[in-house]
Amino acid sequence: MSELLMYLTNGIVIGVINAISAIGVSLIVGIMKVVNFAHGELYIFAGYFSYHLSVSLGVPPLLAMPLSIFLIFLIGIGMERTLIRPTYGDEMYSLIITFVLSIVLQNAALLIFGPYPQKPPNWVTGAMNIFGLYHYGNQRILSFFISIGVLLSIFYLIKRTWFGKSIRAISQDREMAALVGVDHLKVNMLAFGLGAALAGAAGVVLSPIFPVTPSGSSSVSLNAFIVVVLGGMGSLKGCVVGGLILGILENLGAAYISTMYRHIFGFIILILVLVFRPWGLFGQKTQ
Amino acid sequence: MGNKKLWISFAFIILALFPPLFLSQYWLHVMIISLFYVMMASSWNLIAGFTGQVSFAHAAFSGMGAYTSGMLTVYLGLPPWLGILIGTGVAALLGFGLGYLCIRMGGIYLSLTTLGFSEILRIIITNEDQWTRGTMGLQVPGFFVEYSKTSYYYLFLIVTILLLIVIYKIIHSEMGLTFRAVLNDEVAASSSGINTVRVRVLAFAISSAMSGLAGGFYGHYLMLITPDVPSLGQMFLVLAMAVIGGMGSFAGPIVGSFVLEILSEYIRVYGEYHVLLFGLIALAMARFAPEGVVGILRKKWRREWA
C-alpha cells in the first residue's frame, strides 16, 4: 500500500514538471502554430548550464537555477529571431528547421558537455516521513513545490497580465490582434523565449533528480508532445491534467509492468487519444 | 517526359553502368550506400516536397523493412526477395495506419506521432534483443550466394531506377497533380472536389512502402542490421539530403544523396563531425535557399541562357 502511494507521489511530482515542459510547447503551438522539436535539447542545455554554473563556477545552486533559465530564454529569443520568424505561415519549413536544430543542438551538446550524464548538486538533503507511511526525498519535495510555484506564475502571467492577454489575443486571431495594436512580432518573440524558458525550468528542476545526457533529449520532447496532444493543443489546463496523467501512468507502469518500456506507455496514450479523442481532453473539436 | 529529359536520363543510366569497372571496392561501397540514400530521400521528398507533410518515421519504416525481412530470412528461412516484399508490405500498412490516424488532424500531428513512432521502435528493437540482437546487430544472409560488390551495385542501381521511375510517374500523373493542388492551396483543392485527406494518406502509405523496400535491400547488403538503421540520426541524414539537394524537385534528393554521402566519407577522417556540419548547412539552406542546390543551379542556368 505504502509502495503504491510512493509511486503515485512520484507520478504527481514528475507530472507537475511534465506540465511545465508541455506548457512551453503548447504556448508556442498556440500562438504561432510552430512545434519546437528542439524543446528537449533546451531542457538538456538548462540541466548542463545549471550543473556547470554550480559545480564548475561555484555559483550557489539556487542562483544557478534562475540564471540557467534566463540563458535558455535568451537562446529561445535568438532562435525565434534568426530561424523561426522567416518561416511564419509555412508550417512545413518550421517543422524541418526545428527538427534540424534539435539534431544540431544534440550534437553540439555532445561536443561541449561530453556524453556523460551530469547531475547538478541537490539543494537539500535527507528525506521526510510522509504521514508515517513512507519516506520521501526532500529534494523531490522541494522540486515539487518549486514546480507548483512556476505553474502558478505562468497561469498568473497568461491570465492576468497584459502580455498574457496579447498572447491569447494572437492565438485567437492574429490579424484582429494586430489591428487593435498588439505588436505581434514582439509578442511572438517573447512567447517563444518563454516557451524555451519553460523547457529550461523543467530541466533545471528535474536534473538534480534525473541526470541529463545529450541523448536523453528526444524523450523529453516526446513527453511534452504527448501531454500537449492528450490535453488538447493550446490548452493550458490540458497541459496540467495531461502532465499528471502521463506522470502517474508512466510511474505505475514502470513499477508494475516494465521499466524498459517506460516510454511506450506515453506512446500508447498518444495513439489512443488519436483514435478516440483526437482533439484531446480540453481541446476544441473544430479542426 | 520531354525528349531532352529522356536523353539526359538515358545518358545518366549508361554512365551509371561503368563505375564497377574502375572504382575500388571501397568507393563502390560508397556508391551502393548513395543509391540507398537516393531511394530514401526521393521517397521522403514525395510526401514532404510534394504534399507538404513532414514525416520523421521514414528511417523507422526502412528499419521495419530491414528487420522484418531480416528476421523472416533468419528465423523462417525465407528467401531475401520474399522477405523484402513482406517488409515492404508491413511498412506500407504501418504507414497507412499512422497516416490515417494523424493526417485528418493536420500535419503537426503527423510529425509528432512519427517522431514518437521512431523512438518507440528504437526502444523495442534495443530491448527485444532475443529476437533482434539489440545493439549487437542482427546477422542476416546476403542477397546473392556469392558476395560481390559489383552484383550489389547493379542490383541497387536497377531497384533505384525502377523506384525513381515510379516516383516520376506519380508526380506527373493525375495523382501528382492533386498532390500539388493540395500543397498549393488546401482549401481550393478540397472545394474543387479533391479529398485532401485521402490523397495525403495515400501518398504517405506509398512513400512509407518505398522506404521499407529500400531498407530491406539495405539490410541484405550490409548483412548486419543494427538499431542505427531506424534511428533519428539516419532520419536526419535523409532529410538533410532532400533539403540540401532541393525539396519539391525530382532531381534535388538524388543530387543531395550523392553529394552528402560522398562528403561524409571525406569528413569522417576528422571525426564524427559530419552530422553537425550537415545540420548547419541544412539550416542555412532551409533559411536562405529553400529550393536547395538544384534550385540555385536551375536559376543560374536560366539566367545565363535567357
Q: How far apart are CA A27 and CA A238, in angstroms?
A: 12
Q: Express each pLDDT in A114-125 by its tens digit.
A: 888 888 888 787
Q: Which residue has the higher pLDDT, B14 or B34?
A: B34
* Binary contact (A37, B120; C-beta < 8 A): no
Average pLDDT over residues A126-130: 77
Does the pLDDT value for residue B2 go beyond 70? no
Of the residues B46, B102, B108, the best mutation for testing chain A's interface (the one with the most A CB atoms within 10 Å of its CB) is: B108
pLDDT at position A129 is 78
pLDDT at position A258 is 81
pLDDT at position A118 is 87
Q: Which residue has the higher pLDDT, B86 or A219?
A: B86
Report the percent of chain B where pLDDT is more than 70: 97
Whether the CB of A145 is below 8 Å from some CB of chain B: the reply is no
Q: Express each pLDDT in B233-281 by its tens digit.
A: 999 999 999 999 999 899 999 999 999 999 998 888 787 788 899 999 9
- Which of A179-183, B41-45, B76-80, B269-273 has the highest mean predicted lDDT (pLDDT)? B41-45
Residues in A touching B101 (Cβ below 8 Å): 271, 274-275, 278
Does the pLDDT value for residue A22 go beyond 70? yes
pLDDT at position A91 is 83
Q: How far lies A21's CA from each of A244, B130, B212, in Å?
A: 12, 36, 34
Mean pLDDT over the full length of chain B: 89
Whether the CB of A86 is below 8 Å from some CB of chain B: the reply is yes
Kindly state the DSSP code that residue A121 receives in the 8-state scheme: P
Q: Which residue has the higher pLDDT, A177 or B207?
A: B207
Does the pLDDT value for residue A14 go beyond 70? yes
> Positive or negative, the Cα torsion across A121, A124, A125, A130?
negative
Bridge partners (DSSP) of residue A118 are A212
Bridge partners (DSSP) of residue A138 are none
- Indicate the Cα dihedral angle A49, A25, B119, B32, nearest 10°: -90
**pLDDT interval class at A42 (50, 70, 90):** very high
Does the pLDDT value for residue A287 go beyond 90? no
Whether the CB of B106 is below 8 Å from some CB of chain A: the reply is yes
Q: What is the ipTM of this complex?
A: 0.91
* Binary contact (B52, A91; C-beta < 8 A): yes
CATH architecture of the domain with residue range A2-120+137-276:
Orthogonal Bundle (1.10)
Q: Of A181-195, B54-68, B246-260, which gets the smallest average pLDDT?
A: A181-195
Does the pLDDT value for residue A32 go beyond 80? yes
Does the pLDDT value for residue B211 go beyond 50? yes
pLDDT at position A61 is 82
Domain boundaries, chain A: 2-120+137-276
> Cell digits for B40?
530514401
Closest to B63 in 3D by CA, of B297, B259, B227: B227
Of the residues A26, A36, A82, A95, the best mutation for testing chain B's interface (the one with the most B CB atoms within 10 Å of its CB) is: A95
Average pLDDT over residues B63-82: 94
Q: Which residue has the higher pLDDT, B297 or A130?
A: B297
Residues in chain B: 306
Does the pLDDT value for residue B137 go beyond 90? no
* Binary contact (A263, B112; C-beta < 8 A): no
Q: Which residue has the higher pLDDT, A225 or A283?
A: A225
